[in-house]
Amino acid sequence: MSETLQIGGELREGEPFMNDRQRDYFRKKLMAWKGEILRESRETLEALASDNPNLADAADRASSETDRAIELRARDRQRKLISKIDAALMRIEDGTYGYCEETGEPISLKRLDARPIATLSLEAQERHERREKVYRDE
């Protein structure tokens, strides 16, 4: 099954799956995403460091602490996302990127473009989510 992927304004059909150009595209996309997350993290840490926690009003202190806790939880999610991005970059290097961990089949380029850290094909992901729902409902 041939796929298409638009890169740099070009649409190419019938290319071999996960060829050098596609790997390079996803490597750059993942690195840019990681860079953006790290930049946002630095900005958050700077903002948290410059905040004045010595607020006189108890309600203001509580609100400030709640904001800090929310921000730190968001940063923790971003940290986990960075580890998934790093894992995807390692899969690009070892040649396993773009292949479903469950079936070994190629993950659609459209799915990878939308979610470059995907490790399951859409079909395998849907099966996984259905199984999770069944176990959660029991």
> Which of these CATH numbers, 1.10.10.10, 1.20.120.910, 3.30.70.260, 1.10.3720.10, describes 4-137?
1.20.120.910
The whole-number pLDDT of residue 8 equals: 47
In this predicted structure, what is the pLDDT of residue 51? 67
Packing angle of the helix pair 58-94, 20-50 (nearest 10 deg): 160
What integer pLDDT is reported at residue 52 of this predicted model?
61
**Under 8 Å between Cβ of 30 and 85:** yes
Q: Which residues pair with 10 in a beta bridge?
A: 7
pLDDT tens digits along 42-92: 887 787 777 666 666 777 777 777 877 888 888 889 999 999 999 999 999
Identify the three-state secondary structure at position 2: coil
Cα–Cα dist 36/138, whole Å: 40
- DSSP for 69-108, please give it: HHHHHHHHHHHHHHHHHHHHHHHHHHT-TTB-TTT-PBPP
Gap between the Cα atoms of 107 and 123, Å rounded:
9
Q: Model's pTM, two decimal places?
A: 0.76
Average pLDDT, the chain: 84
